[in-house]
Chains A and B, each alone.
Chain A
Amino acid sequence: MLITGIKSRPVYDELTPMATGASHVAAAQGSGGEPLVRLLREMDPDQLSATTVLYSVESFTGKNHLADLQDFAVRELVVFPTNADAVSGLDALLATAKMGTRLYLSGSEGFIGTSMQVATSYGMNRDEVLREHAGSFVRRVWCAHCSHYSENVSRRIFRCPGCARHLIVRDHYSGRLAAFQGVKADGEVPGELPENEELDT
C-alpha cells in the first residue's frame, strides 16, 4: 500500500468484489495483474461471468500476469500492448456500460489516474470504483511550463521532453490532471540544480 505524507495523493484501496455490482470491469497494467488475480479468486462464478478484464502488458518493472489471468472464466479478457491502449479500451467499454457497473483499477499511479479521468468523465462516483496501487513508485508528471505529461518518472529531477527544462517533481498530485507537478528545478539560478534522488515513496 502506498502511504506517504503527500496530502493530495489519492488514498488507495484494496480490490475486493463489490457485492452491489451487476456488471464488473477490472482494468490493470503490469504488476497490477497480481491484485487482479486476487480479486478474481474472491469472485463467485456469477460475478466472474459478469466481469470484463482489461490488461496492459506494458510494465516498468517487467512483471506480466497474463498467464494467471487467463485461468479465470470471465466474460471477456482483452489484452493491450500499452497502457494508453488499455485506457482507450476502458473508455470505449464504459461508453456502453449500464447502470450498476463497478470498476476495479490496479497498477501504477499513472495508469490508475488516467483510468480515473475516464471513469470520472462517465460520471462514475468514487463508491463505484476501487483502486489498488501495485508495482513501482514511478510517477506521471505534468510540466507546469509546457503542459507535457511524462510517464514513469522515477527521479526527483528529470529533463522534460516537452520543453527540455530540468524539472523538480513536487510532492503534489492533481486528480484532475492525474499527475504530479513538475516545475523548473533551477528556476532561481540556471544550472544550480538541487540534489537528485530516487522517487521511492
Chain B
Amino acid sequence: MTAVSNPAGFTPDETYTPDGEYRFRNSREAVRRLPFPFPDDEYMYSMNLEPHVPAGAGALRAAFDVDEHYVSECAHRDQMLQEMPGVHYLALPHMMEAQWDLLELIFESYNRDFPEHFTLTRNGNEWRWQNRLLGIDDSFTFGDPDTLPMDPMEYATRQAQGEFVVLEERDNTLVIGAGMTTQRADYSLQFNLGMNFAEFHGPVPKLDKMGILDRALKFLLRMKPGHPVRRVNWSLTVHPRLETSVETLPDWAPDRAEVTAGNAGDMVYLRIELQPLHRLPRSNAIVFPVRTYLVSLAELVEHAPDWAKRVHRALASLDPELADYKGFHRYHGAAVAWLAQHDDGAPLAAGYPWYPEGIQPG
C-alpha cells in the first residue's frame, strides 16, 4: 500500500508513535467537527445509544467517518500489524461470512459517502474497488477469499479509520469472533477473543449493578440489518498515541507519570470513541467499530473553547472509580488544574453538538 503523495485536505505524514516523535496535530476544522461526547457538565456512564442516522456536517455525516488523518492512520495500522503479528488482528475460523459482510459494509459506505475518494463497482460477484487516497485499484470475487491478498476483514479494515470488533450471536449473547484492533485502549484482543458480552465487560466497574449490561445486550440482540445505532465514549490518554494495548503497557504507561498541571495542555489528549454498531446481513453478526479521535486539551482550548470548559467540568466532577478504570487516576488532578484556567464558569448548552440545540464548540 503506497500512499498517494498528498491528497488535498489530508495530512499524510503524521505519526502516532514515540519513534515518530508523535508528529500529529488537528486543524481547527478537524477539532470543530469532532463527535464531542459530553452533553452535560456532569458525566454519567450510560449506554446512550441512538439511531445512527446522518447528523450535522461533522463526524456524524457519514456511516463511517473519514477525516484529515485517514492516510496517516492507515499507515499506522500497517506499521502496528508488521511490528506485532498475531496481536492486533485475529479472526476465529468460522467468521469468514461475517468478514465479507464487513467488507461490503465499509466499502459501500465509503463509496456512498465519499465518492470523491472511493469507488466500488459491483458486477454480480465480480467487484472492483478503487481507493484513491491510498492508491489502490483491485478487482476480486466477492465471497472468494483466494481472490484477495489477505482475509477480507483485514483487507477492508487496513483501509478504514477506527478499529473493528465483530461479535457473533450465540446462545442469546454476543461473542467476540474477530477484531482489527491496532488502537486498543488497554485491553488485549488475544485475551478477549471468544469471550461473551458479560465476560468482556467484566472489568468495567459498576456496570452490572446499574443493570446497564443486561439492557444493552437485549437491545443489541434486537438490532436489524440496515438500522445501525451509535454511542460515544471517551477517555484520556498521554501523547497522541493510538496503540495503547495491554501488551505494550510497559512502553506507554510511564508517560502517565510525566504529566503536570503545567504540561497537561500539550501532553494530555481527550480520546473520543465513536461507536456505530451495525447488524450484518448474511452472518447475523454485529460489528462494533471504535472510531477513535485524539485531541489535545490545548487544541480544545484554542479551537473549541466551550468544549474545553465542558471537559473541565466533567473531569472535575468525575467518579474516582471511573478515572481509575479509564487509567488516568495519576494525572486526573493535573488535567483538571490545567483546564480550570480556561473555564470562566459561564453556563453551557446541554446535549450533543450534532443536535442544533446541543453544545457547540464556542
Tell me whether A181 and B194 are in contact in the complex, defined as CB-CB below 8 angstroms, given that A145-B249, A172-B203 are known contacts. Answer: no
| Residue from A145, A176, A183 within 8 A of B193 (CB atoms) | A176
Main secondary structure of the interface of A (DSSP, over half): loop
* B249 contacts A177, C-beta separation under 8 Å: no
Tell me the smallest distance from the CB of B297 to a CB of chain A, in Å: 20
Chain B CB within 8 A of A165 CB:
yes
Closest chain B residue to A189 by CB distance? B257
| Residue from A171, A172, A187 within 8 A of B191 (CB atoms) | A172
- Pick the most buried of B194, B199, B247, B257: most chain A CB atoms within 10 A of its CB: B199
| Bound: A45/B247 CA distance, A | 51
* B200 contacts A188, C-beta separation under 8 Å: no
Chain B CB within 8 A of A170 CB:
yes
* B191 contacts A188, C-beta separation under 8 Å: no
Chain A CB within 8 A of B253 CB:
yes
* B208 contacts A144, C-beta separation under 8 Å: no
1/0 contact string of A140-166 vs chain B (CB within 8 Å) = 001011000000000000000000010
* B246 contacts A181, C-beta separation under 8 Å: yes
| Bound: A171/B201 CA distance, A | 12
Contacts of A24 in B (CB 8 A): none
* A177 contacts B190, C-beta separation under 8 Å: yes
Tell me the smallest distance from the CB of A115 to a CB of chain B, in Å: 16
* B202 contacts A8, C-beta separation under 8 Å: yes
Chain A CB within 8 A of B356 CB:
no
1/0 contact string of B228-256 vs chain A (CB within 8 Å) = 00000000000000000011111001101
Contacts of A187 in B (CB 8 A): 249-250, 253-254
Chain B CB within 8 A of A139 CB:
no
1/0 contact string of A18-51 vs chain B (CB within 8 Å) = 0000000000000000000000000000000000
Chain B CB within 8 A of A98 CB:
no
| Bound: A174/B330 CA distance, A | 28
Contacts of B195 in A (CB 8 A): 8, 174-176
| Bound: A145/B195 CA distance, A | 20
Chain A CB within 8 A of B188 CB:
yes
User: Which chain A residues (112-159) contact chain B, with CB distance < 8 Å?
Assistant: 142, 144-145
| Bound: A8/B194 CA distance, A | 11
* A188 contacts B247, C-beta separation under 8 Å: no
Tell me the smallest distance from the CB of B184 to a CB of chain A, in Å: 11
Tell me the smallest distance from the CB of B245 to a CB of chain A, in Å: 8
Chain A CB within 8 A of B148 CB:
no
Closest chain A residue to B245 by CB distance? A144
Chain A CB within 8 A of B192 CB:
yes
* B203 contacts A170, C-beta separation under 8 Å: yes
- Pick the most buried of A145, A173, A174, A177: most chain B CB atoms within 10 A of its CB: A174
Chain A CB within 8 A of B198 CB:
yes
Closest chain A residue to B258 by CB distance? A188
* B194 contacts A144, C-beta separation under 8 Å: no
Contacts of B247 in A (CB 8 A): 144-145
- Pick the most buried of B191, B194, B246, B249: most chain A CB atoms within 10 A of its CB: B191
* A145 contacts B250, C-beta separation under 8 Å: yes
| Bound: A165/B249 CA distance, A | 12
Closest chain B residue to A143 by CB distance? B247
| Bound: A176/B256 CA distance, A | 31
Contacts of A173 in B (CB 8 A): 199
Tell me the smallest distance from the CB of B220 to a CB of chain A, in Å: 17
* A8 contacts B200, C-beta separation under 8 Å: yes
User: Which chain A residues (174-195) contact chain B, with CB distance < 8 Å?
Assistant: 174-177, 181, 183-184, 187-190
Closest chain A residue to B213 by CB distance? A7
* A144 contacts B198, C-beta separation under 8 Å: no
- List 9 other contacts, CB 8 Å, given A176-B195, A183-B249, A189-B254: A7-B199, A8-B195, A144-B247, A174-B195, A175-B199, A176-B193, A181-B246, A184-B250, A188-B254
Provide 20 A-B residue pairs closer than 8 Å at the C-beta atoms, listed in order of the A residue: A7-B198, A7-B199, A7-B201, A8-B200, A8-B202, A144-B191, A144-B247, A145-B247, A145-B248, A171-B203, A172-B202, A174-B195, A175-B199, A176-B195, A177-B190, A184-B249, A187-B250, A187-B253, A187-B254, A189-B254
- A residues sitting closer than 8 Å to B (CB atoms) are 6-8, 142, 144-145, 165, 170-177, 181, 183-184, 187-190
Please provide the 4 A-B residue pairs with the shortest distance between their CB atoms, ordered closest to farther.
A7-B202, A187-B253, A8-B199, A176-B194
